[in-house]
Chain A
Amino acid sequence: DAKTTQPPSMDCAEGRAANLPCNHSTISGNEYVYWYRQIHSQGPQYIIHGLKNNETNEMASLIITEDRKSSTLILPHATLRDTAVYYCIVRVVTGKLIFGQGTTLQVKP
């Protein structure tokens, strides 16, 4: 399974952009990058995914480097409700999501 590396924790000021990095240097050419988040023991929530092009939806933007070895999830205007654990996942086998430790994002007022 492709290994991902995320910082264990990050802080962000409310209203500012939150940029969450993920390293996935062993990613294969056909593997997608997925981001999920989990808000305090709630069920994980799908955020966004991409292959090689940058992607944007109503929740976030995903920037993938040209060599695909890393990506950044961007929450453009973080709110207190965005405080959560964010998981970067790059290996999915028949729907099985492999969650790492993720990044705990603390949005502060």
Chain B
Amino acid sequence: DSGVTQTPKHLITATGQRVTLRCSPRSGDLSVYWYQQSLDQGLQFLIQYYNGEERAKGNILERFSAQQFPDLHSELNLSSLELGDSALYFCASSVPGVEETQYFGPGTRLLVL
């Protein structure tokens, strides 16, 4: 158990819909990262937040957005969902100053039908 929690574990929805994935980092960690893992793309970095502020952006679509709240939990919002958005979405957190050592949550498996 990494100490990072993600909800829900599974999500099934239809094309065109919007969903919100939630992540709670480990106690004391200020950074939250979101990754997407699909069968054809592998693990890809989406976005990083540090203490409420966006710090780095990766291959995140405009239909996707994220935020980190004052209590440091984070949400990833996916809208206008397409079949290709079906994937595992992982959240990770890291200790301040040691960003390369990241602790991953169990992931949310999203299936878009």
A interface residue numbers (CB < 8 A to B): 32, 34, 38, 41-46, 49, 87, 92-101
Contacts and interface: CB of A to CB of B under 8 A. Distances in A.
12 contacts: A34-B101, A41-B88, A43-B2, A43-B107, A45-B2, A46-B102, A94-B56, A95-B55, A96-B48, A96-B58, A97-B100, A99-B43
Given A41-B88, A43-B2, A43-B90, A97 B45 contact: yes
A49 B101 contact: yes
B88 A44 contact: no
Interface in B45-60: 45, 48, 55-56, 58
Q: Which of A34, A44, A100 has the most CB of B within 10 A?
A: A44
Nearest to A93: B56
Given A41-B88, A41-B107, A43-B105, A95 B42 contact: no
Interface residues of B, number: 27
Contacts of A87: 43
Given A32-B100, A43-B92, A95 B33 contact: yes
Interface string B23-66: 00000000101010000001111001000000110100000000
B107 A34 contact: no
